[in-house]
Amino acid sequence: MGVTQTNRAGLGSTTNKIFSKEGPKEKKRDMVLEEVRVFEEEQRTSVAVAQAKQCAWTKWNDIEPIKLSWKSLIAMEPLAISFLLRSTYDILPNATNLKLWGYTDSDLCFSCKQDRGTLRHVISGCPKLLQLYTWRHNQVLEIIIKLLRTQCESANQQPVTVKKPTIQFHKESERPARRKKNSEVKLLNGTNDWKILADLNTSLQFLAHIIQTEKRAEIVAWSDTKKNILLIELTVPWEDNVEDAHERNKNRYETLLADCIEKN
């Protein structure tokens, strides 16, 4: 019996891997390991989904997971690692948890004393902590500005080369040579007149020589010769709201994008 067809691909397009017929011993071992890994991951996820509080991360969609390598773990401050892990699993000593663990009688937020001091409230919803949220926002923005500025400077030092698309031929019996993946960001390539405007404390007036608009942005990078504009608007939302925040920001600039396209 062949492979059971589960998608809309044509019959026979999914090949079945038979362990006993697969190459050398090492390859068979890798296949077994992969099967065990998938099985373990399935079990881990099914347990996690059942734990609503500690495993809220199972509901985070479209969020880039943090790659915690040993190298980055060693470089991190111990308190930062502790905060990162405990905030992910909601076991920080906030008012709600302290009451749950039997240390206090009240679960009201320590700062505003109005709402329950849940992790979500403390990290992104307390009216008394607004200044701290602005500070956090600016810290992230500062990193982005620094990175983009370095990228623009490096792009401006590169010679402008226009790559023509080429067709690579190969003999009938040969496989085409694999193209090397280039991890370098190509967004800034092709021109060397990138300029960047960024302001941490006030939103920037959009570039008057490009378009007249009331819209303001936090970082604007542009190239007059390439006719490209990079607009960066940063929001640091609660993980569950990442998608909504992204949609909101996208809608905010939709008319501006249409105007820019119209002006070529």
Amino acid at 164: K
Q: How far is the CB of 118 from Zn ion (least distance, A)?
A: 10
Nearest CA-CA partner of 227 in 178, 181, 260: 260
* Burial 39-68, CB ≥16 within 10 A → b, else e: eeeeeeeeeeeeeeeebbeeeeeeeeeeee
Q: Which is nearer to Zn ion, 116 or 215 (by Cβ)?
A: 116
- The correct pick among 95, 119, 123, 126 for binding Zn ion (CB under 5 A) is 126
Q: Where are the alpha helices (DSSP H) in the chain?
A: 25-50, 70-75, 78-88, 95-100, 119-124, 130-157, 242-252, 254-262
- The correct pick among 56, 90, 96, 109 for binding Zn ion (CB under 5 A) is 109
Structure tokens at 138: 């600016």
108 binds Zn ion (CB under 5 A): no
- The correct pick among 91, 92, 108, 112 for binding Zn ion (CB under 5 A) is 112
Give Cβ neighbours of residue 254 (< 8 Å, ≥ 6 apart): none
228 binds Zn ion (CB under 5 A): no
Secondary structure letter of residue 178 according to DSSP: P
95 binds Zn ion (CB under 5 A): no
Q: Which is nearer to Zn ion, 94 or 223 (by Cβ)?
A: 94
Q: Which is nearer to Zn ion, 126 or 260 (by Cβ)?
A: 126
123 binds Zn ion (CB under 5 A): no
Q: How far is the CB of 18 from Zn ion (least distance, A)?
A: 60
260 binds Zn ion (CB under 5 A): no
Total interface residues for Zn ion by CB under 5 A: 4
Query: Footprint of Zn ion on this chain (CB under 5 A)?
Result: 109, 111-112, 126
